[in-house]
């Protein structure tokens, strides 16, 4: 338990729209110095895209998985309702979050919504294992946010839509 105080104190503060060069690779490089193989493996398994619980999951991982599952289910119902022409009142998401903006702006808002949820989960976790798990989740969201590069996206679009002669 004492080792988490030092680890948490040396990690840089993260914000979703920050330009920090700290990433998951650097994070795990640091964690290898301080954590056991089992702890490191558990931390690596804490993935924001994983929604199926495992017996080794900590409480905070299970909470996030339940949130992510609920969020995805609500998005699916909202999209189906929109496609079929009726309005669905969201319960988890703010009503205007999905209605305003283009798909990229909405995706960024969803990332911010997830980030805010992680902030709420972390209110009582400053120097413990759960802090490290939440920090790992935030790094994953940050890397997803950084992946939205207009020029790279345009290059990919051109690559996929180019017609061969």
pLDDT, tens digit (0-9, with 9 covering 90-100), for 38-76:
999 999 989 998 877 676 667 889 899 999 999 999 999
The pLDDT value given to residue 149: 80
Answer yes or no: is 11 within a domain.
no
pTM: 0.86
Q: Smallest Cα–Cα separation from 59: which of 40, 80, 38, 42?
A: 42
The pLDDT value given to residue 1: 52
Q: Angle at Cα 16 formed by Cα 140 and Cα 149, nearest 5°?
A: 80
CA distance 128 to 150: 38
Number of domains in the chain: 1
Answer yes or no: is 21 within a domain.
no
Answer yes or no: is 39 within a domain.
no
Answer yes or no: is 48 within a domain.
no
- For residues 107-112, average pLDDT: 95
Answer yes or no: is 164 within a domain.
no
Q: Smallest Cα–Cα separation from 130: which of 10, 27, 4, 34?
A: 4
Q: 139: domain range?
A: 62-149
Burial of 138 (0-12, 13-18, 19+ CB in 10 A): buried
Answer yes or no: is 129 within a domain.
yes
């Amino acid at each position: 338990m004492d080792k988490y105080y030092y680890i948490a104190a040396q990690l840089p503060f993260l914000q979703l729209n920050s330009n920090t060069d700290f990433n998951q690779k650097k994070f795990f490089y640091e964690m290898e110095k301080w954590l056991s193989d089992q702890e490191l493996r558990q931390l690596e398994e804490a993935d924001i895209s994983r929604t199926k619980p495992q017996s080794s999951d900590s409480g905070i991982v299970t909470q996030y998985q339940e949130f992510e599952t609920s969020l995805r289910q609500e998005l699916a119902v909202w999209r189906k309702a929109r496609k079929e022409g009726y309005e669905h009142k969201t319960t988890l998401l703010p009503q205007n979050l999905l209605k305003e903006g283009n798909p990229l702006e909405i995706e960024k808002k969803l990332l911010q919504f997830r980030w805010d949820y992680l902030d709420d989960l972390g209110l009582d976790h400053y120097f413990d294992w759960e802090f490290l798990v939440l920090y790992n989740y935030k790094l994953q969201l940050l890397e997803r946010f950084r992946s939205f590069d207009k020029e790279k996206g345009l290059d990919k679009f051109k690559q996929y839509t180019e017609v061969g002669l």
